[in-house]
Chain A
Amino acid sequence: MPSPLRLCVRRSPASRESGAGVLVTLRLPSDVACIEEAVELVTLHCLAGHDAPTRTRFRLQVVLSEALSNAIMRGNREARDKWVHVRAELGPEVIRLEVTDEGPGFDPHAVPEPVGRERLDEADGRGLYLIRKLVDAVQFNEQGNSICMILRRP
């Protein structure tokens, strides 16, 4: 069965601000079964040509998996007619990852911290917290349906 993922890689200056030399875009359906392959593809391109330590690979894999999972389940609510869009600007010093869903958005400031003793037994609510801990900077668009994660290369 052909993969439902649409990958595009452009080796040209993607952004004057970030100084990125490669732009990777990926579109995937709202299906959690696609997450692992999408993470693998984007990580591969993010680290291509760089001697990245395993810690960087691990952080990328976890935060991508989290952001895609949030976009598919909470943003698009797994609607099969909605897509998730990944845009990775890859510079020599910085990786800038944007994950956007087609949902109404949410207020990231309204998400409680999940590490208090009273919340330790909860099964959900750690995704955004983990992203914030594992990347160097996180931004959201005004609508709250697009997260931008910035990782500095070591």
Chain B
Amino acid sequence: MGFHQTRDASGVAVVQVEGQLIVGNRQELKELVQRALDAEDRRILIDFSRTGYIDSSGLGALVSISKRIREAGGELRLSGLNEDLRSLFELTKLHTLFEIAETPEQALASF
């Protein structure tokens, strides 16, 4: 369970969620994104291709992160949600709040 941060060729900060995004590690993700914003990153992609499950605290952390990025004048994309993960966003209507791409490549191309 953890996060892996890289940068793509065009300068987008890419965060991979490996394992779960739940109450026990949501703060770590929020701090990681805050550090990226502090370092003047304004285009951020969070990818869930290697994620098992997300709980409501994890969803809440994504809502907070989205707000912070918006307030900083940045853009957030999500990608790699499998059918189960996507269903959580749909049940909570959060799919209307985020820009969600099928793959990280499609998300990067959309910035």
Contacts and interface: CB of A to CB of B under 8 A. Distances in A.
B5 interface: no
Interface in A64-99: 65-66, 69, 73
Contacts of A7: none
Contact of B88 (A55, A120, A121, A130): A130
A130 B91 contact: yes
Contact of A127 (B20, B56, B96): B56
Given A66-B55, A127-B55, A127-B56, A35 B22 contact: yes
Contacts of B88: 62, 130
Interface residues of A, number: 27
A126 B92 contact: yes
A59 B23 CA distance: 17
B73 interface: no
Nearest to B65: A123
B22 A126 contact: no
A120 B22 CA distance: 19
A121 B63 contact: yes
Contact of A36 (B20, B59, B63): B20
| A interface, over-half SS | helix
B43 to A, nearest CB: 21
Contacts, number: 72
Contact of B84 (A35, A58, A121, A129): A58
A115 interface: yes
A32 B24 contact: yes
A47 to B, nearest CB: 14
Interface string A125-148: 111011001100000000000000
A33 B24 CA distance: 5
B49 interface: no
Contacts of A54: 84
Contacts of B101: none
5 contacts: A33-B24, A62-B53, A62-B55, A62-B88, A126-B59
Interface of A: 32-33, 35-36, 54-55, 58, 61-62, 65-66, 69, 73, 114-115, 120-127, 129-130, 133-134
Given A127-B55, A134-B91, 5 more contacts: A55-B84, A65-B20, A69-B56, A126-B56, A129-B56
